[in-house]
Homo-oligomer: A and B are copies of this chain.
Amino acid sequence: MTYTASVVGGTGFTGGELLRLLAGHPEFEIEQATSRSKKNKTVGHSHPNLRDLDLRFSDPTDLDSVDVLFAATPHGVSMERIDDFQAAADTVVDLSADFRLETEAQYDEWYDGHSRPELLAESEYALPELNRENLEGAELIASGGCNATATILGLLPLFENDVLSGDERIVVDVKVGSSEGGAGGGPASSHPERSGVVRPYAPTGHRHEAEIEQFLGTGVSFTAHSVDMIRGASATAHVFPDEPVSKGDLWGAYRGSYEDEPFVELVAGGGGVYRYPEPKAVAGTNRAEVGFELDPGNKRLVIFSAIDNMMKGSAGQAVHAANIALGIEETAGLEFQGLHPVGAP
């Protein structure tokens, strides 16, 4: 069966990634890719990997009827245009933060006032490993944020399997690539200033803390650093359980949570060069790597998780969610295994 799909906001990095995935998807057919600034230009003008796609950007105010509409627009746009989006499509998958939080109070704490707060309760947050069942048949889906996804995937098994109760202190130190900053440019993201950095860009107060708290039921002490890669988010969680935990306990917990998950891979020790989760190893894929190490001397667990922020952290997760919503094979269009060697990339 073939479903029609449109991408609103097709010139950005996330929009391009959605178009790439939809073009290669066995059950989706691209109807429209919209762009205000590059109307009538080819998709390949913005995304050189898509030059052979016979598609030009169309006006975002003139939306065709489709089965699924993906909104890859800046935060705040979807809440303004949601009626148009829902008029055009049975299923709307929004990749911004507009519909990720459950209540207006939460939203107001972290963002600047929501114009359609009544929709917050209706939308479904998409992190399939967390809440796959809610996504089946969903009509408004808020695809999870990249750093939140990495963090939640790392910590979830500890909560699901009672290693943590929610009262413990959790430090999450995240390293992200430059694609998180988007296609816009600006001095801080120019190559001379951005290359080779370890740059604290969200020392405290990162908005993804809200998503994390909403789903784990506890806040985390979150800090993000920009590092020299393009794609990738790596989260290192430092966790202090009240009771001692063995390596066997951890393997049990993580296998229990993830053994049937098609997009989560456990990587914890072993030999060779790649012994723990790394963004390099998942670049271009929808895979999350999750792993851990024990530090008995400090009564600490160190949890590592790594994703491609453009894939499992945004476009891939959105397509995964759409697959579930429409009853398509979950992995359809998301089978790319990644490259080796590759530069994260």
User: Is A341 on the interface with B (CB-CB < 8 A)?
Assistant: yes
Per the bound structure, the CA–CA distance linking A304 and B298 in Å amounts to: 21
Would you give the shortest CB distance from A345 to chain B, in whole angstroms?
3
| Contact size range, A | 35 or more
Is the Cβ of A227 less than 8 Å from the Cβ of B230? no
Contacts of A297 in B (CB 8 A): 204-205, 219
Residues 267-299 of A at the B interface (beta carbon under 8 Å): 267, 270-281, 283-285, 293-295, 297-298
Per the bound structure, the CA–CA distance linking A326 and B160 in Å amounts to: 51
Is the Cβ of B187 less than 8 Å from the Cβ of A183? yes
Would you give the shortest CB distance from A189 to chain B, in whole angstroms?
5
**A229 touching B178 in the complex, CB below 8 Å, given contacts A187-B273, A274-B48, A343-B343:** no
Q: Select A50's contact among B48, B195, B340, beta carbons within 8 Å.
A: B340
Q: Chain copies in the assembly?
A: 4
Per the bound structure, the CA–CA distance linking A186 and B204 in Å amounts to: 28
Residues 178-228 of A at the B interface (beta carbon under 8 Å): 178-179, 181, 183-200, 203-205, 219-221, 223, 225, 227-228
Is the Cβ of A340 less than 8 Å from the Cβ of B281? no
Per the bound structure, the CA–CA distance linking A42 and B23 in Å amounts to: 33
**A190 touching B192 in the complex, CB below 8 Å, given contacts A20-B340, A48-B281, A343-B345:** no
Contacts of A238 in B (CB 8 A): 171, 173, 221, 223, 238
Q: Select A276's contact among B47, B173, B203, beta carbons within 8 Å.
A: B203
CB 8 Å contact bits of A221-249 with B (1 = contact, 0 = none) = 10101011111101010101000000000
Is the Cβ of B340 less than 8 Å from the Cβ of A342? no
Q: Select A183's contact among B49, B190, B280, beta carbons within 8 Å.
A: B190
**A195 touching B344 in the complex, CB below 8 Å, given contacts A236-B173, A274-B48:** yes
Is the Cβ of A52 less than 8 Å from the Cβ of B265? yes
Contacts of A227 in B (CB 8 A): 175, 198, 227-228
Contacts of A48 in B (CB 8 A): 267, 272-274, 278, 280-281, 338, 340
Contacts of A273 in B (CB 8 A): 48, 187-188, 193
User: Is A116 on the interface with B (CB-CB < 8 A)?
Assistant: no
Is the Cβ of A219 less than 8 Å from the Cβ of B337? no
Is the Cβ of B298 less than 8 Å from the Cβ of A337? no
Is the Cβ of B178 less than 8 Å from the Cβ of A192? yes
What are 12 A-B pairs at a CB distance below 8 A?
A20-B337, A169-B169, A185-B185, A185-B189, A191-B230, A195-B344, A198-B279, A200-B236, A200-B275, A203-B295, A223-B302, A227-B227
Q: Top 6 closest A-B pairs, CB basis?
A: A345-B345, A196-B344, A192-B341, A204-B295, A196-B343, A49-B338
